[in-house]
Amino acid sequence: MTKHAGFSSDEAVAAVVAPPPTGLHFSPFPPPTKAAARDCKKLAAVHVDITAPMAGSWFESMKDSSPRRAADAEHGDWMEKHPSALKWFEAALGAAKGKQIVMFLDYDGTLSPIVEDPDRAVMSEEMRDAVRRLAEHFPTAIVSGRCRDKVFNFVKLTELYYAGSHGMDIEGPAKQQSKHIKASAEEEEAVVQYQAGSEFLPIIEEVYHTLTAKMESIPGAMVENNKYCLSVHFRCVQEEEWNAVEEEVRSVLKEYPGLKLTHGRKVSIVSYRSIIRFYMDLGILSWRFALHQVGQGQGPRFLLKSLGYAGRSDVFPIYIGDDRTDEDAFKVKEFLCKMAKANQGDGAAEKMLT
Ligand SMILES: O=P(O)(O)OC[C@H]1O[C@H](O[C@H]2O[C@H](CO)[C@@H](O)[C@H](O)[C@H]2O)[C@H](O)[C@@H](O)[C@@H]1O
């Protein structure tokens, strides 16, 4: 498999949002694995408690976040736990039949190769063309941890939705530009927009400066300002120094108890809400609630609403991503499915996700 041909990638973990379980609208798809069930149970432990002492497992888990491509036993084990959704491609096609597909694509590591310098994570023309063609057929959103402007500057396709800063900052095409939205004449000029948590911007900015100063003493470490969240990169830091990076980040965050810490691929992400909550707000993950009418879903379900698909049961969202933050999204999806099956309301889900 070519790393960046089409939407497949040896490193990518692609998730196809499962149709509703039996008794509601659909049967489980793809078949749940034991590993997936375990991951689902670990949901509450995904985010880092910065007041807790640094666990030794942090280091191992960080190494795992950039899986090796070599076909060794460790890699085989990783692949077993993270099976490619392409295995179920035919089944996915079948399950999507007659439904409206909505595409959610991660940027780094999915549309662009992982590189040492985040500013050089350029997307190929071939990939841009593939996304362009995809968007001709399905409403398509790019979901990224990067700030929205930055990811737009990489992708440069005006017909897409962009959910930057893990969904805290969303902008869609003017409705007249989107063939997927049925807009009234007055609405045609309107640009779909959503920003949340602007009151936290000064704090994020302050922490950005503090962390940047702290990282100066660690060769290779770098802080990226993604507006609503920050990424502390350590891809270019010697492995022996990774703990130093983590300790510095945690010591700064102790002064800001409201801020959350999440880990991606050789990156520590600082945000004012957990990434899982970002995705809840984005609406991808409230999908099941809309589908099953189990609860009201407290997130704005922004993208789905603006596309006019909220509450519809004939929609088939597909989310493709490669990072641990994307895995959060997949885990929540599994979790919501369980909640739906257990017939518990949104309130319970929200409580467990906070
Ligand atoms: O959720 P994502 O959109 O995947 O955001 C996660 C981080 O992606 C970017 O960092 C990753 O890609 C870089 C360029 O290839 C690489 O150098 C880095 O090690 C990766 O973690 C982005 O630069 C970060 O801001 C995001 O947090």
267 or 306: which leads in pLDDT: 267
Residues 112 and 61 in one domain: no
The mean pLDDT of 101-126, rounded to a whole number, is 92
Does the pLDDT value for residue 120 go beyond 80? yes
Does the pLDDT value for residue 7 go beyond 60? no
Of residues 278, 288, 331, 337, the one with CA closest to residue 43: 331
CA angle 320, 181, 106 (to 5 degrees): 15
What pLDDT sits at residue 34?
44
Q: For residue range 190-199, what is the model confidence (pLDDT) as tens digits?
A: 556 667 778 8
162 belongs to a structural domain: yes
**Structurally, how many domains does the chain consist of?**
2
Q: Highest-confidence range of 254-258, 307-311, 313-317, 345-349, by mean pLDDT?
A: 254-258
Q: Highest-confidence range of 80-84, 167-171, 332-336, by mean pLDDT?
A: 167-171
Last residue of a domain, one of 242, 271, 300: 271
CA distance 74 to 70: 9
What pLDDT sits at residue 264?
83
Q: Which atom of ligand 1 is nearest to the CA of 322?
A: 4
Last residue of a domain, one of 271, 299, 326: 271
What is the ipTM for the molecules in this complex?
0.98
Last residue of a domain, one of 271, 298, 316: 271
Residues 317 and 344 in one domain: yes
Residues 162 and 230 in one domain: no
Q: Is 236 in the pocket of ligand 1 (CB under 6 A)?
A: no
**What's the distance, CA 113 to chain centroid?**
16
What pLDDT sits at residue 325?
61
Residues 280 and 256 in one domain: no
CA of 118 to the centre of ligand 1 (A): 7
Residues 99 and 230 in one domain: no
Percent of the chain past pLDDT 70, that is, above it, reads 50
Q: Which atom of ligand 1 is nearest to the CA of 113?
A: 15
Encoded tokens for 81: 């736990």
Q: Is 11 in the pocket of ligand 1 (CB under 6 A)?
A: no
CATH code of the domain containing 251: 3.30.70.1020
Residues 237 and 184 in one domain: no
From 3, 62, 66, 108, give the residue whose CB has the most ligand 1 atoms within 8 Å, as the site to mutate.
108
What pLDDT sits at residue 41?
33
Ligand 1: residue whose CA is nearest its atom 9: 108
What pLDDT sits at residue 290?
28
Which H or E run contains 246?
A: helix 242-253
CATH code of the domain containing 345: 3.40.50.1000
DSSP at 215: H
From 267, 268, 270, give the residue whose CB has the most ligand 1 atoms within 8 Å, as the site to mutate.
267
Q: Highest-confidence range of 145-154, 186-195, 296-305, by mean pLDDT?
A: 145-154
**What's the distance, CA 131 to chain centroid?**
18
8 belongs to a structural domain: no
Does the pLDDT value for residue 294 go beyond 60? no
150 belongs to a structural domain: yes
Residues 39 and 187 in one domain: yes
Q: Are 340 and 292 in contact (CB under 8 A)?
A: yes
Average pLDDT, the chain: 69
The mean pLDDT of 10-19, rounded to a whole number, is 32
Q: For residue range 203-225, what is the model confidence (pLDDT) as tens digits?
A: 999 999 999 999 999 999 999 99
Q: Which atom of ligand 1 is nearest to the CA of 114?
A: 15
CA angle 142, 148, 150 (to 5 degrees): 100
Does the pLDDT value for residue 189 go beyond 60? no
CA of 294 to the centre of ligand 1 (A): 34
274 or 97: which leads in pLDDT: 97
Does the pLDDT value for residue 163 go beyond 80? yes
Three-state secondary structure readout of 294-354: CCCCCCCCHHHHHCCCCCCCCEEEEEEECCHHHHHHHHHHHHHHHHHHCCCCHHHHHHHHC
Boundaries of domain holding 61: 57-66+199-271
The mean pLDDT of 16-25, rounded to a whole number, is 32
